[in-house]
Amino acid sequence: MTKEDGTADVWWARRQDASAGHVALLDETERRRWTAYRRDADRERFLAGCVLAKAALARYAGLRPADVRFDRTCGQCGEPHGKPSMRGGTLQHSVAHSGDLVAVAVAPDPVGVDVEQFDERPHPLGGDGDPAALARLVMSGTEQSALAALPPPDRPRAFLVAWTRKEAVTKATGDGLRAAFSEVVVAAGAGPPRLVSWPYERSPREVTLLDLDAAAGYVAALAVLGPCTAVTRRDGSALLAGLA
């Protein structure tokens, strides 16, 4: 399986696709993290995301999933909890999970994916759920104004759409939440997503930003630090089932 320049694949699965048989594919560090999760749902999300990433990358590289190893060294402290990259691989990937969904994006250029559950959460935005208060923390002045101009019932979802776009960009750079989200400015509201400005030297115009059709009740976004003209949706559930 090949991956052409300027394209990306997004593999989608559900946390319930993780099964006991997949644990054998975890390395020692991953197994420690897996056992440390206290809640079943967190354990399943981690296992499904990790094994799906291995299985997907193995297909492009012509390897067995067990032979795919990740370097997760954190750029900040050196601990193994940073952006994962495949040792000896040429493709880039990104993992995201929320609720029941797990996504793994794969591309030749640095890539970031984010998914957030919107429906069926007691408070989709967390905290006290006030989009304006959260927007003051993570949005630029222009983005806050665009959010405030929407009818109140539309604001929580619009906030989450902007959030997933920002997080996809910062996951592609590898900075994640260390980046100042208010300086990662994305076109919010109607119209295609676009990175307007960011606190890096590279031109924001070189970044491809797309909303993904995840599943009902979820919002998701994909960022590629380079051109990306075609995104293919792939069946990660089938891939995981084939391994179990």
Quick one: residue 215, left, alpha or beta (phi over 0 = left, psi -120 to 50 = alpha)? beta
Q: Of 167, 186, 195, 231, which lies in the binding site for ligand COA, with binding defined by CB under 6 A?
A: 167
Provide CB contacts within 8 A for 228, sequence distance 6+: 6, 7, 8, 107, 109, 208, 210, 222
171 binds ligand COA (CB under 6 A): yes
Determine, following the binding rule CB under 6 A, whether residue 49 of this chain makes contact with ligand COA: yes
Q: How many CA atoms lie within 13 A of 203 on its CB side?
A: 4
CB of 177 to ligand COA, least distance (A): 3
Nearer to ligand COA, 112 or 131 (CB): 112
Shortest spacing between CB 61 and ligand COA, in angstroms = 18
Q: Whole-angstrom Cα distance, residue 83 to residue 39?
A: 23
What is the contact mask toward ligand COA in residues 92 to 121, using x (rule: CB under 6 A)?
Answer: --xxxx----------------x-------
Least distance in Å: CB of 197 to ligand COA? 20
Residue 233 is a binding residue for ligand COA (CB under 6 A) = no
Q: Are 169 and 184 in contact (CB under 8 A)?
A: yes
Write down the least CB distance from residue 114 to ligand COA, Å.
Answer: 5
The separation between CA 137 and the C-alpha centre of its own chain, rounded to angstroms, equals: 21
State the angle between helix axes of 28-36 and 40-61 in degrees (0 to 180), rounded to the nearest 10.
Answer: 150
Using CB under 6 A, pick the residue from 108, 110, 156, 174 that binds ligand COA: 174
Binding characters for ligand COA, 56-85, by CB under 6 A (x = yes): ------------------x-xx----xxx-
Tell me if 15 contacts ligand COA by CB under 6 A: no
Residue 48 in contact with residue 18, Cβ under 8 Å? yes
- Beta carbons of 48 and 62 less than 8 angstroms apart: no
Task: List residues near ligand COA by CB under 6 A.
Answer: 46, 49-50, 74, 76-77, 82-84, 94-97, 114, 167, 171, 174, 176-178
